[in-house]
Amino acid sequence: MVNGPGDMIITPDCLFEGERFEKFTELATAAKADGSLIVAQITHPGRQVRESVSPTSVSASAVQLEPKDGMTFGKPHAATRAEMKKIVDEFAYAAEYLEKAGFDGIELHGAHGYLIAQFLSRTTNKRTDEYGVQTTENRMRFLSDIVRGVKARVSPKFIVSAKLNSVEFQEGGVTPDEAREVCETLEKLGLDFAISQALGPDRKMKLYLSGGMRSVGPMVSALDSVDGIGLGRPAAGEPRLASDIVEGRAGGALKPLTAGEEFPLSLMAAGAQIWQIARGKEPFQLWDEKVLAQLEQDLGTWFGKKAEDGDKLEHTKPVEYTGPQNAYGSSAAVIA
């Protein structure tokens, strides 16, 4: 099930040929052109599907998600065994599809409240069967089913990993100790890496930390406990950030004017910056007041078009920045 308009989708109806498959192949080829690996993050929204996409949804239990940031969500029901098996098969098929398209691996999104996380968390899982939260084995069963299903359809060299919250910041959620148990189980299942807190020196599974890292000092310190650092929104504005840090040209990411608590704005800005790059333009930089002012105007236009679109779901592209434009690679920052 799609989370929102514009998401990339793979279903068992998608063949290993044709225009869609060719586009995934082109994406993998471009991403790996300079020696990088490409690992696709795959997910199912569960109860987090937008109501405009589907008025009903499937989840661990029938726990409704309250409206947030102007969005309303489909009414969930507790997944049946048949539905869970179908979803497991869909995850496995997506992994096989991506491997055939040239991807190096997948990351199962088990964080941020998506379907896998809905089975892991007591806030959303009220089941009393073997998929309930009475034990770690139970709460892990759905994710374990997916991992086994995926591994049965991909080659041994294909990376299979998971993204997890190390702690869920709400009463009744996942605790650090429980997150550790989850990771221990994933290691036994043969996962290559998971994003969580460190499990100790004897672990074989690789651990990566994502979110909040902007300065080299804290990044280096974190490597005492984890194997790597993920850069998301900072790299959207500075696509050469990783190489600049490694080669000593930067001591960290430039700080945007958007405050950390303004999550929706910073997330939409990152999407707009990536859209700039996709159109062959340098990304705009959020440390410039004039750029931010222009972006806010463009956001207003975008929300107006979204309101006009209603339930047609035709307004799917990110915000398009209309300020000064430079060709990608022709200069550094695009500033007003």
Report yes or no on 227 lying in a domain: no
191 in the same domain as 317: no
pLDDT of residue 169: 44
133 in the same domain as 280: no
281 phi, psi to nearest 5 deg: -115, 155
Report yes or no on 219 lying in a domain: no
Q: Based on C-alpha coordinates, what's the Rg of the chain?
A: 21
pLDDT of residue 121: 87
- Of 153, 178, 210, the one marking the end of a domain is 210
Report yes or no on 43 lying in a domain: yes
Q: Determine the structural domain holding residue 60 and report its residue range.
A: 18-210
Report yes or no on 251 lying in a domain: no
Between CA 143 and CA 182 the distance in angstroms is 10
Between CA 69 and CA 64 the distance in angstroms is 16
Which residues are part of the catalytic machinery?
114
Check the CA dihedral 16-19-22-26 and report its sign: negative
pLDDT of residue 260: 47
Between CA 43 and CA 151 the distance in angstroms is 16
Report yes or no on 234 lying in a domain: no
Q: Considering its fold, how many domains does the chain have in total?
A: 2
Taking the model in full, what pTM does it have? 0.83
pLDDT of residue 171: 56
pLDDT in tens, the chain (336 residues): 556 667 889 999 999 999 999 999 999 999 999 889 999 999 999 999 988 888 999 999 999 999 887 788 989 999 999 999 999 999 999 999 999 999 999 999 988 889 999 998 888 999 999 999 888 889 889 999 999 999 999 999 999 998 887 655 455 556 667 767 777 888 888 877 776 554 556 677 778 887 778 888 888 888 887 888 888 888 888 889 988 998 899 888 888 776 544 667 788 888 899 999 989 999 998 888 899 899 999 999 998 988 887 777 777 888 999 999 899 987 555 444
pLDDT of residue 176: 65
Collect all residues with Cβ–Cβ distance below 8 Å to 294 and sequence separation of at least 6. 284, 321, 322, 323, 336
Between CA 286 and CA 336 the distance in angstroms is 10
Tokens of 187: 């290691």
275 in the same domain as 185: no
